[in-house]
Amino acid sequence: MQDALREACALLQQGDIVALPTETVYGLAADAFNPTAVAKVFAAKERPSFDPLIVHIAARGDLKTVAKVPDEIAEIVDKLTHAFWPGPLTLILPRHPDVPDIVTSGLPTVAVRQSAHPVFRAVNKALGHPIAAPSANRFGSISPTSASAVTKELGDRIPLIVDAGACSQGVESTIISIEPRAGKKPVFRLHRAGPITKEQLQEFGKVEKAREAVGQVVLAPGQLASHYAPRTPLILLENPQDFHPEDGKRYGLLSYTGDDDGPYVTLHDWECIEALSPGSGKLAEAAIRLFFVMRTLDEAGLDAIIAEPVSETGLGVAIMDRLRRAAVANKSHPA
């Protein structure tokens, strides 16, 4: 592993891009202060230039190198970073002028976090610069939670994939912006649900959902309505009675628990069934397995994937967010 870390750092220093593991998903990394290197990330992913990237810092003290935290939110930023960093919480803050426009898509803000993954942190520290790293997949497709998934997505487009096994969280970081309120706890605008839940954030402030992106007006990474989608049409079936299969088509079920007597499992003679949390119904396990299960079904030669909803509490909010975005591109597909 040490050889791989040295090679990754050397490639980043010379302006190249590499795939690195984080605790959420594998990221496609570039030196955030090198616009030419960051352009390679957009090219490899086929990512539109209006979708900003998350900047990763090696330590909390490095925040000042990428953001200018206003005095009115400095105290709450300090509380949040001590509570959740290193970890899967991304803060949207006013950008430091040293951050290139290409990283922020020209916005006056920057999305920043500190990864908890020891491999990513080691490379981040050795590089000595912040790292811009969106998920290491082609734009809009299923996020990779293993090195093999990165290989399938980008193996012929990048020089190095550092394999450190499966990611421990499985869904991308929670993204918030902060609105101060005189004499009251601040408002956190939730731009993307993730492993840091609404319930955890409510200890520090009021949580409200941010508005969705409209066209090319994107304020945070991962905001586009259609995202995280398999190539096979995915249909989020929130009511089993709404399922009307077409003759001759092959359907697979993305189940929550896969229980033999569950209302979704018994609904149809499925070609295959993949469960997010087999038998136990644990949201943490479901989040870790979400993209793996989506990719497994996507490779099964199906005509459509039918997804069973999960409870929208805690991590279930992030899971349902990913399922809804994956389904948006297939709304016209008849179930």
28-81 confidence digits (pLDDT tens): 999 999 999 999 999 999 999 999 999 999 999 999 999 999 999 999 999 999
The answer to whether residue 146 sits within a structural domain is: yes
**Claim to verify: residue 275 and residue 323 sit in the same structural domain:** yes
Identify the band that residue 188 occupies on the pLDDT scale cut at 50, 70 and 90.
Answer: very high
Per-residue pLDDT tens over the stretch 95-152:
999 999 999 999 999 999 999 999 999 999 999 999 999 999 999 899 999 999 999 9
What percent of the chain is predicted at pLDDT more than 70? Answer: 95
**Claim to verify: residue 178 and residue 244 sit in the same structural domain:** no
Gap between the Cα atoms of 221 and 320, Å rounded: 17
Q: Please state the pTM of the whole predicted model.
A: 0.92
Average confidence (pLDDT) over 293-322: 96
Q: What string of DSSP letters covers 255-318?
A: ESS--TTSTTGGGS--SEEEESSTTT--HHHHHHHHHHHHHHHHTTT-SEEEE-----STTHHH
Identify the band that residue 280 occupies on the pLDDT scale cut at 50, 70 and 90.
Answer: confident
The answer to whether residue 217 sits within a structural domain is: no
Least confident of 27-41, 54-68, 211-225, 269-283: 211-225
Average confidence (pLDDT) over 149-170: 96
Range of the domain at 258: 234-328
The strand order across the sheet containing 304-307 reads 234-236, 304-307, 251-255, 272-275
**What's the CATH number where 258 sits?**
3.40.50.11030
pLDDT at residue 335, rounded to an integer: 41
